[in-house]
Chains A and B, each alone.
Chain A
Amino acid sequence: MSVKYIPVQWNPNKWIYDGIMLAGVAAFLWVFIHVTPEILSHERPINSQVHNARAFGACAFLMLSIILAIGPLAKLDTRFMPLLYNRRHFGVMTAFVATAHAGYILNWYFAFSFVPKWDALILSNTNYGQLLGFPFEALGAFALVILLILAATSHDFWLKFLTAPVWKRLHYLIYLAYVSVVAHISLGILQDQQSLFLPVFFIVTAFLVALLHVWAYLAERKTGDPLASAEGDWMRVCQADEIDEGRARIALLPDGKRVAVFKHEGKLSAISNACAHQNGPLGEGRIIDCLVTCPWHGFQYRVTDGQSPAPFTEKIPTYNLRVQDGAVLVDPKANPPGTHVDPVEVA
């Protein structure tokens, strides 16, 4: 929400968030790298490069799974919303951990040859026609490229520059990356592993992530935002008395956009449901200090004109509305972002 961009807009919650995340990553890696060699009773130890590669690879998979679980969890139970707040830092850290995994592999399995490493990565196994012995490294590399693109475009500048919908579509690639990672593991280490912990953990985790998403989707379909119904040229959103003070009702308009009708000090105002920042659902937010507050990252707007208070410059479209026989009607044609509309008295 800054007027000028800075590298990271730190605040105490982000420090705590990153602190917990880094503590988790450090705990994972420290236990895996320094504690487990003492526990393993092998006659000769696993090469440290491979041991490290496994530590970072497994850690990246777990991190990615946690990241992908946050979205549906927050949809199913709003208490998880704080985990969403700084998820991008979690993602960037995952890209670093995954890169370390790739680095250990590249500098071990693909090193020591007269063939340059990057060439070796591509040409040493070309068994694309067979699942057993498939070049699963390519699947991991593909996922890593996606993680790097997402990490590299995580700054708020990219949201504004690409626009939130384009940015979101780009970041939907995370699902493709996860599928690719699941294939990378399924056709790679899963084929070799004799002991049961890794396969069971991997399969349970991947299915849990898949299940959470399907569950969240079904829940969203069941309790999702209703379609506004036409009343002449206007669209009916809800009954005026259904809206609580400081809260909103959301309706889907024919053009695919959503409108949020807020009640503030007893009067109604209609604004775009999509936050200018990341298209977060403003209508699921609240009015705090007279400002509509986005549930995702706390961006704030005046309910009457859709403008962020100075010094901030974000703007969202507003909608004209009226109340007729107790029903809230909205003009489906949005006003330009920042247009003032007088709040409507509930009749």
Chain B
Amino acid sequence: MADNKDKPFFVGYLTAPDGLRSFLIGIGIGLILLMAGVGLGIGATQDDPGNGAFRGDYGRQTVTGVMELTPYPVVRVTQGSEHVPEGHTLMLSAGGKQSLMSRVRDLDGQLVTVSGTILDRGELDMMQVRGGQNGISRAEGDAPEMDSEDLGRWRIAGEICDGKCLAGAMRPGTGIAHKACANLCLIGDIPPVFVSTQPVEGSEFLLVVGPDGTIFPKSAYDLVAAYISVEGKVVRHGDLLVFHLEPDTAELVQ
């Protein structure tokens, strides 16, 4: 081993020998400085998590509109609020990563009033509705007919996210490190959202459903958070595009 013939010999329970003391003091100070420096370096160079947020500052928003089950519930707003314009198509979620499906099952095509907190990130927004009747209730009056427009089949590139974390429930709410959380959100029927590299017919964010208009298929979970290109039908519901994602056509982007 290293030739230690003339080196000072350290015994743990005795005072360190003179020859070692300055070396050890240097190591000790160096260690503390190293740790502080690395903490600074890593902490201060974290990537921007985006500007999504819960908009508590908006206060509670209550809007009326027609419920559509895509199957993920969206409201085609007929009577807006301060921060939700009329004519907007608003995605909905329950609190946390809970499913809203059981509460909206019988409301497809009905006129409803929904109330809750808005999350937004640029063009993307979503409402986290309150619990029980306070969150979703039938509204008086007849629901107007809402049309949707088939925009054809597309191949688009980007990332599948859970719409809620993406919109600001979490910062960061995208990417590989967040993937398990995104999956867990999707298991809880949070609307999945495709972030397209470039706008599709003016929209960068598309609500994702299964190829036959089902909920997000099990086979697509492994695609979440990766950068992929994938095909599917795009349907316009007001100002929201719904992407009927076909998992079999997905390719990882190199």
In B173-194, the 8 Å CB interface with A consists of 175-181, 183-185, 187-188
**Are A66 and B45 in contact, CB atoms less than 8 angstroms apart?**
no
Question: Contact string, A1-38, partner B, CB cutoff 8 A, digits 1/0?
Answer: 00000000001111010001101110111111101100
A81 at the interface (CB under 8 A from B): yes
**Residues on B with beta carbons closer than 8 Å to the beta carbon of A223:** 1-3
Residue pair A191, B177 in contact (C-beta under 8 Å): yes
Question: Which residues of A sit under 8 angstroms from B222, Cβ to Cβ?
Answer: 127, 129-130, 133
Contact B11 A198 (CB under 8 A): no
* Nearest chain A CB to B174 CB, angstrom units: 8
Q: Which of A42-50, A163-171, A175-183, A230-238 contacts B (4 or more CB under 8 A)?
A: A42-50
Pair A124/B180 contact, Cβ less than 8 Å: yes
Chain B residues, CB < 8 A from A47 = 49, 170-171
A253 and B103 alpha carbons, distance in the complex (Å):
77
Evaluate contact between B176 and A191: CB separation under 8 angstroms. yes
Q: Is the CB of A298 within 8 A of B45?
A: no
The answer to whether B20 touches A50, judged by C-beta atoms less than 8 angstroms apart, is: no
Q: In the assembled complex, which residues on chain B have CB atoms less than 8 Å from the CB atom of A124?
A: 180-181, 183-184, 187
A187 to B225, CA, bound (A): 13
A197 cross-chain contacts in B, Cβ below 8 A = 41-42, 45
- Residue A337, interface by CB 8 Å: no
Q: Which residues from B are CB-within-8-Å of A293?
A: 9, 11
Q: How many A-B residue pairs have CB under 8 A?
A: 225
B206 to chain A, nearest CB (A): 20
Instruction: Say yes or no: B24 contacts A58, CB within 8 Å.
Output: no
Interface centre among A12, A132, A295 (most CB of B within 10 A): A132
Q: Does A83 contact B (CB under 8 A)?
A: yes
Q: Which residues of B sit under 8 angstroms from A142, Cβ to Cβ?
A: none
CB nearest neighbor in A for B48: A42
Q: Encode B52-63 as 1/0 by CB contact (under 8 A) with A.
A: 110000000000
Which of A27, A77, A135, A281 contacts B35 (CB under 8 A)? A27
Give the nearest-CB partner of B96 in chain A: A112
Given A44-B51, A47-B171, A201-B42, A82–B16 Cβ distance below 8 Å?
yes
Contacts of A130 in B (CB 8 A): 222
Q: How many interface residues does chain A have, given as a range?
A: 35 or more
Alpha-carbon separation in the docked complex, A25 to B34 (Å): 10
Looking at the complex, which one of B2, B39, B53 makes contact with A77 (CB distance below 8 Å)? B2
* Surface stretch bound by A, among B25-33, B70-78, B138-146: B25-33
Q: Is the CB of B35 within 8 A of A28?
A: yes
Of all chain A residues, the one with the shortest Cβ separation from B37 is A31
A305 to chain B, nearest CB (A): 21
Nearest CB in chain B: distance from A46 CB, A: 5
Contacts of A40 in B (CB 8 A): 43-44, 46
Cβ-defined partner of A133 (8 Å) among B44, B46, B176: B176
When the two chains form the complex, which single residue of B1, B3, B39, B99 contacts A29, counting CB atoms closer than 8 Å? Answer: B39
Residues of B contacting A295 in the complex (Cβ-Cβ under 8 angstroms): 9-10
Cβ-closest chain A residue relative to B9: A286
Known: A44-B51, A114-B188. A58 touches B171 (CB 8 A): no
For residue A33, which residues in chain B have a CB less than 8 angstroms away from its CB?
Answer: 43
Distance, CA A40 to CA B44, complexed state (A): 6
A110 touches B181 (CB 8 A): yes
- B43, A31: Cβ atoms closer than 8 Å: yes
Q: Is the CB of B2 within 8 A of A125?
A: no
Interface check A173, CB cutoff 8 A: no
CA distance A16 to B202 in the complex (A): 63
Q: Does A327 contact B (CB under 8 A)?
A: no
When the two chains form the complex, which single residue of A42, A135, A288 contacts B11, counting CB atoms closer than 8 Å? Answer: A288
Q: How far is the CB of B155 from chain A (nearest CB, A)?
A: 20
Q: In the complex, which of the residues A11, A66, A76, A108 contacts B13, with contact meaning CB atoms closer than 8 Å?
A: A11
> By the criterion CB–CB under 8 Å, are A36 and B2 in contact?
no
Q: How far is the CA of A50 from the CA of B12 in the complex (A)?
A: 40
- Ordered by A's residue number, 9 sampled pairs between the chains whose C-beta atoms are within 8 Å are A30-B39, A47-B49, A50-B171, A59-B39, A83-B27, A133-B224, A188-B177, A192-B177, A295-B9
- 8 new A-B contacts, CB < 8 A, other than A35-B43, A58-B38, A120-B184, are A31-B36, A44-B50, A44-B51, A78-B7, A85-B12, A113-B184, A125-B183, A127-B221
3 closest A-B pairs by CB:
A36-B43, A112-B96, A28-B39
